[in-house]
Amino acid sequence: MSQTERRGAKAAKRKISRLTTKRLVNPVMRGLLERGLASRTHALLETIGRKSGLPRRVPVGNGLRGDTFWIVTEHGRAADYVKNIERNPRVRVKVGRRWREGTAHLLPDDDAAARMRFLKRPMNDTLVRLVGTEHLTIRVDLDDGPTGA
Alpha-helix runs per DSSP H in 1-149: 3-20, 26-34, 80-87, 112-119, 122-131
Contact 141, 105 (CB under 8 A): yes
Total of domains in the chain: 1
Task: Name the pTM for this structure.
Answer: 0.80
Instruction: Flag whether 23 is in a domain.
Output: yes
Q: pLDDT tens, 79-132? A: 999 999 999 999 999 999 999 999 999 999 999 999 999 999 988 888 888 878
Instruction: Flag whether 68 is in a domain.
Output: yes
Instruction: Flag whether 149 is in a domain.
Output: no
Instruction: Flag whether 147 is in a domain.
Output: no
Share of the chain above pLDDT 70, in %: 82
Instruction: Flag whether 148 is in a domain.
Output: no
Residue 77 belongs to a domain with what CATH number?
2.30.110.10
Q: What range defines the domain where residue 18 resides?
A: 3-142
